[in-house]
Chain A
Amino acid sequence: MSGTFRFELVSPERILLSDTAEEVIVPGVEGEFTVLAGHAPVVSAILPGVIHAKLMASTKGIYVDGGFVEVNPESVTVLADSAFIVDEADERQLADALSDAERALDQANDDDALRHVTSAIEHLKGLQRKRGI
C-alpha cells in the first residue's frame, strides 16, 4: 500500500510499538521533522520529547527520553533510551520520569546535556499540565 510505512519503537527492554503508520513526527536534535512514506534514509539522534505517530486507526503520542531514529523509505525505527506511550502512562510514571530528569539537571555539565535535560523537563511538564495535575 502506498502512503504507509512500518513504524517500530523499541526500547532496550522490549518492543513497545510495531505498526503501520502514515505519518510520524520526530523531535530530532536539529529540529522536529515529519516522516512520510518514501522518506530519504536518515539516521538522527532525538531529543527527549513526544513522537506523534499517525497510525492506520489512531494517533498515538509516545514520550521518548532520547535515543536514535533510523528512517528509510519503507520503515522508521526508533531506538529509544526509554519510552512510554502517553495515553497508557499513569501519573506516577510521569512523576518518576520528571524527577529523574530534574536529578540529571544538576549533573548536566555541558551544553548538549543541558539541552537534553531541559527538553525532557519541558515536555514532561507539558504532559502533566495537559492532564491537569
Chain B
Amino acid sequence: MASLKDLRNRIASVKATRKITKAMQMVAAAKLRRAQEAAVAARPYAQQMDAVLHNLAQGVVDRDNASPLLVGTGKSDTHLLVVMTAERGLCGGFNSNIAKLARYDASKLLDQGKTVKIMTVGRKGADNLKRDYGNRIVEKRDFRNVRRISFADAQGVADKILEMFEAGEFDVATLYYSEFISVISQKPTAFQLIPANVPAAESKDRSAAVYEYEPEESVILDHLLKRNVATQIFRGLLENGASEQGARMSAMDNATRNAGEMIDKLTITYNRQRQAQITKELIEIISGAEAL
C-alpha cells in the first residue's frame, strides 16, 4: 500500500498534468477561432472558382483534346495519395484517422493491382505511414516552421503535384484531409484532385453560361485548372488547421476531466488512509493508558 507521502506526490503530479492540459485546451480554443476565421475567409474565392470552372467545363465539347487535368489521362493505373496531416500530436484521433482512411484506400487500390504513390504533407502523416508504406512515399512536405498557412505554401505543394503529373508519374491524385464539421466532429475526407471533380452538367443554368472569354476558353480553362489544384490544397490545409485545433481542444478537455476525476479518487484514498492512521495511533495511546 502506498504511503501517505506517495499519495501526496501523486496528487501533486496529476494536478500539474491537469494544469498543462487545461492550458493546452485554452490555447487550442484561441487558435481554433483564428483557424476557423481563415477557413471561412477563404471560402468565397473557392466558391467563385468552382462556379467559373463549372461554367467553363460545360462548354468543353471536344473532350478528347481537353486538358488531362479535367478529363484524366484515360488510365487509372497509378494513384497518388496526398495525405495532409498536422505537425503535432496530442490532438486525439485526428492524425491517425486521416492516415487510417488513406491506408484503407491504399490497400484497396493495391488489391486491385494499381500502383500507389504517397505524398505526405505534415510530419505526423509521414510518421504514421512510414511503417506500412515507407517505400511508397515519394515526397514529404512539412510546414513545421510556418506559423500561418498562406496561399504560397499551398501553391508550392500544388506546383510539385503538377510537375509530377506532367511528367506522367501518376494518373489520379486524391487529397486526404479532415473536414471541419464542428468542434467535436471532424470527418476524414478523400477528395479527388486530378482529374478535376467538376459536378455534372445541370441543364437549367445554361443561360448563365453565355460568357465571352479573353483569351480563348481553352487557355483560360487550362490556367484555371492549375489554379484550382492550389485552391483545393489551400482549402484542405485550412480545413485541416481548424479540425486539428478542434480535435486538440476536445482531446484536452477530456484529459482535463480525467485528471480531475483521478485527483478526486486519490484525495479520497489519501483522506481514508490518514484517518486510518490517526485511529490506529489513538488505539495505541488508549490501550497503552489502560495497561497502566
Contacts and interface: CB of A to CB of B under 8 A. Distances in A.
B220 interface: yes
Given A77-B48, A79-B45, A79-B49, A13 B213 contact: no
Nearest to A69: B214
Nearest to A11: B45
Nearest to B154: A12
A96 B264 CA distance: 57
Contact of A29 (B150, B215, B234): B215
B211 A41 contact: yes
A28 B214 contact: yes
Interface residues of A, number: 23
Interface stretch (B36-44, B98-106, B275-283): B36-44
A32 to B, nearest CB: 12
A30 B52 contact: no
Contacts of B211: 41-43, 70, 72
Nearest to B37: A14
Contacts of B212: 40-43
B223 interface: yes
Interface residues of B, number: 27
B42 A45 contact: no
Contacts of A68: 52, 220, 224
Interface in A18-77: 28-30, 40-45, 68, 70, 72, 77
B214 A10 contact: no
A13 B268 CA distance: 53
Interface of B: 38, 41-42, 44-45, 48-49, 52, 55-56, 150-151, 154, 210-215, 219-220, 223-224, 227, 230-231, 234
Interface of A: 8, 10-15, 28-30, 40-45, 68, 70, 72, 77, 79, 81-82
Given A12-B234, A68-B220, 8 more contacts: A10-B45, A10-B48, A12-B230, A13-B38, A13-B151, A28-B214, A45-B219, A68-B224
